[in-house]
């Protein structure tokens, strides 16, 4: 058990809130607030890193390092550097990309796009890797394995930084440089926000009127534009990089598009009904990597359906509309639209400081601060904020997978 008075696993969550037995594994300690999720998360990660797979064990950890470096997640870079050495990886690769085999360096472009602007992925990216000359080409099975690892670790970086998870003591913790906070002047109105959310859910349940298709589309486009204008924490600050991370980063300035700059366009719309996870993404993965495909599907479902029917101090609440709004808002950030969803609900259910936090965790997790974490859902429990972070992790992961699996489908047909 975690002892009070000691440093807990997270900079944002008091140690008294951490109830599970996972001392020494800070991710598990935080995720363990929701054992059903932790269980399926662990199984998936174990499959990706330890079980049968196309990539060698050192390669898997190296891909994990590359992915986590995109978000400057020192926790994962440091953890997987140790794992890499434990499974017999060549220490020279850890000096930086230059020392790593060309084959892995070729993943750089995909890593960067997938992490920040997944809508740019197209079949040419896949083609180039699969057909490179000179003995450095990727097999499809290897590439799928690498893509699954990259997306898993991008999303996990969001979770770790979103929850302020510390590096475990034995891993030479380096404090993260603080990022500047933007002022969020919404004051004490926050204290009634649980009641406000409940009232909005009730209103939505009572509204019966049908909205036309055109209006639904307009509402999505409006939300997409608006979400592009939601600032993320420390928007104008230059990225501060850790020395230990820089040498795993190529083109560190490449990030999620900052729409506040003139001339930048919001991502093009991806119609989730034309390429759904269930009918397309999952079934393609079923053919290419059935074990992970199944586990991912389970994990999406556990995350999407997890509920305790509570909302802050209120119980007996149907929170499905709130959870769906969270999921769809994250995917809207990446341009993904569900035809049957009314994006007006996002605005009714998610207030601004929550959106700022969600967008920062998803797009620029390295900029999350305690102030940002504390500034939304003040009445809610820490375990609910962790729950929110599962939704962010999974919605983000699924968005990236939809884009890369669609590119693979296009490549194959």
Ligand X SMILES: CC(C)C[C@H](N)C(=O)O
Residues with catalytic annotation? 73
Shortest Å distance, C-beta 208 to ligand X: 24
Beta bridge partners of 271: 337
Cα–Cα separations (whole angstroms), residue 136 to 101, 128, 156: 9, 11, 29
* CA dist., res. 40 & res. 37, Å (int): 5
Identity of the residue, 172 or 320, whose beta carbon is nearer to ligand X in the bound complex: 320
Q: From the CA atom positions of the chain, what is the Rg in Å?
A: 21
Half-sphere exposure of 373 (CA within 13 A, CB side): 27
**Mutual orientation of helices 382-412 and 108-116 as an angle, nearest 10°?**
130
Q: Which one, of 273, 368, 370, 377, lies nearest residue 326 by Cα?
A: 377
Using CB under 6 A as the binding rule, the residues of this chain from 313 to 372 that contact ligand X are: 319, 322
284, 292, 311, 332: which one contacts ligand X (CB under 6 A)?
311
Told to check if 48 binds ligand X by CB under 6 A, we report: no
Identity of the residue, 272 or 392, whose beta carbon is nearer to ligand X in the bound complex: 392
**Which listed range, 79-87, 103-111, 308-316, 367-375, lies at the site for ligand X (CB under 6 A)?**
308-316
Identity of the residue, 375 or 384, whose beta carbon is nearer to ligand X in the bound complex: 384
**Which listed range, 66-74, 244-252, 307-315, 363-371, lies at the site for ligand X (CB under 6 A)?**
307-315
21, 309, 313, 339: which one contacts ligand X (CB under 6 A)?
309
Identity of the residue, 228 or 346, whose beta carbon is nearer to ligand X in the bound complex: 346
Shortest Å distance, C-beta 384 to ligand X: 4
Q: How far apart are the first and last CA of the chain?
A: 53
**Which listed range, 93-101, 110-118, 273-281, 301-309, lies at the site for ligand X (CB under 6 A)?**
301-309
Identity of the residue, 227 or 388, whose beta carbon is nearer to ligand X in the bound complex: 388
Contact map string, positions 377 to 406, toward ligand X, x by CB under 6 A: -------x--xx------------------
Shortest Å distance, C-beta 390 to ligand X: 8
**Which listed range, 49-57, 158-166, 293-301, 305-313, lies at the site for ligand X (CB under 6 A)?**
305-313
Shortest Å distance, C-beta 32 to ligand X: 17
* CA dist., res. 128 & res. 125, Å (int): 5
308, 313, 339, 370: which one contacts ligand X (CB under 6 A)?
308
Q: What is the DSSP string of 147-189?
A: HHHHHHHHHHHHHHHHTTBPPPGGG---PPPPPPPPP-TTGGG
User: CA 53, 300, 122, 408: dihedral to nearest 10 degrees?
Assistant: 50
Total number of residues shown for the chain: 413
- The answer to whether 114 and 400 are in contact (CB under 8 A) is yes
Q: What are the residues binding ligand X (CB under 6 A)? A: 307-311, 319, 322, 384, 387-388
């Amino acid at each position: 058990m975690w002892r009070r008075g000691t440093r807990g696993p997270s900079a944002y969550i008091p140690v008294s809130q951490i109830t599970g037995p996972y001392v020494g594994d800070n991710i598990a300690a935080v995720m363990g607030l929701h054992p059903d999720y932790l269980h399926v998360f662990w199984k998936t990660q174990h499959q990706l890193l330890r079980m049968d797979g196309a990539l060698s064990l050192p390669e898997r950890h190296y891909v994990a390092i590359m992915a986590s470096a995109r978000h400057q997640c020192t926790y994962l870079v440091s953890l997987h550097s140790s794992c890499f050495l434990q499974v017999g990886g060549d220490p020279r690769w850890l000096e930086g990309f230059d020392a790593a085999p060309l084959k892995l360096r070729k993943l750089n472009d995909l890593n960067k796009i997938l992490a920040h602007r997944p809508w740019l992925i197209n079949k040419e990216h896949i083609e180039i890797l699969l057909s490179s000359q000179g003995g450095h080409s990727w097999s499809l099975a290897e590439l799928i394995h690498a893509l699954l690892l990259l997306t898993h670790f991008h999303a996990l970086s969001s979770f770790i930084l979103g929850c302020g998870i510390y590096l475990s003591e034995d891993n030479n913790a380096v404090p993260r440089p603080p990022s500047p906070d933007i002022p969020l002047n919404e004051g004490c109105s926050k204290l009634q926000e649980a009641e406000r959310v409940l009232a909005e859910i009730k209103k939505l349940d009572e509204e019966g009127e049908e909205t036309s298709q055109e209006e639904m589309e307009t509402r999505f486009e409006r939300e997409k534009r608006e979400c592009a204008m939601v600032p993320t924490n420390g928007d104008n600050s230059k990225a501060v990089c850790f020395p230990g991370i820089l040498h795993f980063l190529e083109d560190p300035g490449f990030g999620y598009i900052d729409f506040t700059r003139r001339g930048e366009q919001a991502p093009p719309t991806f119609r989730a009904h034309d390429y759904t996870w269930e009918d397309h993404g999952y079934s393609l993965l079923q053919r290419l990597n059935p074990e992970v495909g199944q586990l991912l599907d389970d994990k999406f479902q556990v995350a999407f359906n997890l509920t305790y029917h509570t909302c802050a101090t209120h119980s007996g609440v149907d929170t499905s509309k709130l959870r769906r709004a969270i999921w769809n808002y994250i995917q809207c950030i990446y341009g993904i639209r569900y035809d049957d969803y009314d994006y007006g609900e996002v605005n009714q259910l998610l207030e601004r400081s929550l959106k700022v936090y969600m967008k920062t965790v998803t797009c620029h997790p390295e900029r999350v601060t305690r102030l940002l974490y504390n500034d939304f859902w003040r009445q809610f429990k820490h375990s609910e904020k962790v729950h929110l972070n599962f939704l962010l992790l999974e919605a983000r992961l699924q968005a990236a997978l939809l884009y890369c699996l669609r590119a693979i489908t296009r490549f194959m047909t």
